[in-house]
Chain A
Amino acid sequence: MDFFYSTANLLYEWGPNFLRGLSATLQIAFGAYLLGLTIGVLGAMGKIHGGKYLKLSLEIYTTIIRAVPELVLILLLYYAGTSLLNQSLEAFGYNPVDISGVAAGVVVLGLVQGAYATEIVRGALLAVPKGETEAGIAFGMSKSKLFRRITLPAMIPLALPGLANLWMIVTKDTALLAVVGFEELALVTKQAAGKSRLFLEAFTVAAFLYLGITLISNQIFKLLERRATRGLPKLEQV
């Protein structure tokens, strides 16, 4: 009972801060996910259709990003990215800018997500049966129409489980930004815990907030998947 009483106290005093942290976390996760998807689609195209050097550099990008810890990447890209940007701004005679935490977080996590998304989209694109696209060509469809009407609808059901997984990963990876001092849910929680001395309560609240995000997005992705696979033969539930 003691635990619930102090949790209620904590929420009363720090509730708005938790909500602000939650909204920052969701914003970054959403931005990074969109950026990652864009990189993923472009990267997959490059890996399949690109020239030798494009393929090689994409291979290096996905390999390195997937082998180095996210924390190291975040620090590297955060410091390197901001100083590179400011140096180039100065070189062109502009004043250096302060990069907002949200923008930096979105770019860094987006680049990490992009590497994983590239592999997922590539796998899905390659798994689209050749006969279907050939049938489209035989109908005289233009390239963009072929992609929009045949390739995209055929690959989405294949890519969705992986992409859903990526969203779960990015919502949790935002917690790493706490280490570079960005005020999202994890850092807000740590501050609340330190100030109120209610460590157990604060981290439990944060855990449930993250769990809530996961459970809700799980349901949304389930609906999306049902819509994307409509008309397809039902797979045996494994």
Chain B
Amino acid sequence: MVWDWLPEYLPKFVDGLWVTLQLFSLSIFFGFLLAIPIGLVQVTGPKWLGHIARGYCTLFRGTPLLIQLWLLYYGLGSVFPYYPGLRESFIWPILVEAFPYAVVAFSLSVAAYEGHVMKGAFQSVPKGELQAGRAFGMSNFTLLRRVWLPRALQNVLPTLAGEAVLTLKSVPLASTITIFGVYGVGSIVRQETYRVYEPLLFVGFIYICLTGLIVVLFRWLENRVPSESQL
């Protein structure tokens, strides 16, 4: 084991950690925002919307994230230049960067997995509680905000923690479209120093720490939310 490369590359790893965390938190944020309506329309609302949401979940949960990422970045990315006017428009600078593609691909994937979880969560809330809210004269939105969503979340926090860890572990895939997170920096070190194992072990160590952090964070959240076993 030779670790003399570490001090030299440590600043790069810090940059990489920042990229990894950004990609992770942005996709969890946007993904979860999408997951709420995706879960909700499968439980209530018009049937055709529910069918679309279910189809979306099947499609994105049934294909590898790597293929989705490449489809977006290489596939759509190769089509965009042929649209006249897009090159001159204000979004063009965004479309030539790799990072937005990764955020979109990861968010869509997170939305599908968590949407599936949220569907079960919304279903598991007892009907009586929703009826009680209605009896109080709550509007649909207030009911969702005050009763349905909090009660649903309470039931699935452990599952969401698991999904978050899985999302974190898929962030290295972004290195295949030139995004240098912790894993990407690790590959650079491996190419430049010809050390095979040490950079990988270091990357693995960082990920174990991050996973631990997520688990602790969610446990803290779970403890803040009163659950039935504590009542």
> Interface on A for B, CB 8 Å cutoff?
64, 66-73, 75-76, 79-80, 168, 172-173, 175-176, 178-179, 186, 189-190, 193, 197, 199-204, 206-207, 210-211, 213-215, 238
Contacts and interface: CB of A to CB of B under 8 A. Distances in A.
A200 B64 contact: no
B170 A69 contact: yes
Given A72-B207, A73-B204, A215-B62, 8 more contacts: A67-B211, A68-B207, A168-B61, A175-B66, A186-B70, A190-B70, A199-B70, A238-B120
A206 to B, nearest CB: 5
16 contacts: A66-B165, A67-B211, A69-B170, A71-B172, A72-B183, A72-B200, A73-B204, A79-B196, A193-B75, A199-B78, A206-B67, A210-B62, A211-B59, A211-B62, A214-B63, A215-B62
A186 B67 contact: yes
Chain B, interface size category, equals 35 or more
Contacts of A202: 75
A72 B67 contact: no
Nearest to A237: B123
Nearest to B168: A69
Interface in B185-226: 186, 196-197, 200-201, 203-204, 207-208, 211-212
A103 B58 CA distance: 30
Given A71-B183, A75-B200, A210 B63 contact: yes
B62 A189 contact: no
B6 interface: no
B176 interface: yes
Nearest to B202: A72
B123 A238 contact: yes
B67 A189 contact: yes
A234 B171 CA distance: 40
Contacts of A178: 66
A69 B172 contact: yes
Contact of B124 (A75, A168, A211, A238): A238
Given A67-B208, A72-B172, A207 B66 contact: no
Interface in B51-70: 58-59, 61-68, 70
Nearest to B123: A238
Contacts, number: 109
B80 to A, nearest CB: 10
Contact of A69 (B58, B74, B183, B197): B183
B145 interface: no
Contacts of B169: 67-70
B91 interface: no
B76 interface: yes
A68 B204 CA distance: 6
Contacts of A71: 172-173, 183
Contacts of B172: 69, 71-72
B211 A204 contact: no
A69 B200 contact: no
B26 interface: no
Interface in B13-67: 58-59, 61-67
B79 interface: yes
Given A68-B169, A71-B183, A172-B64, A207 B197 contact: no
A211 B63 contact: yes
B84 to A, nearest CB: 16
Contacts of B77: 199
Contacts of A70: 169
A149 B7 CA distance: 60
A68 B168 CA distance: 9
A32 to B, nearest CB: 14
Contacts of B66: 175-176, 178, 186
B203 A175 contact: no
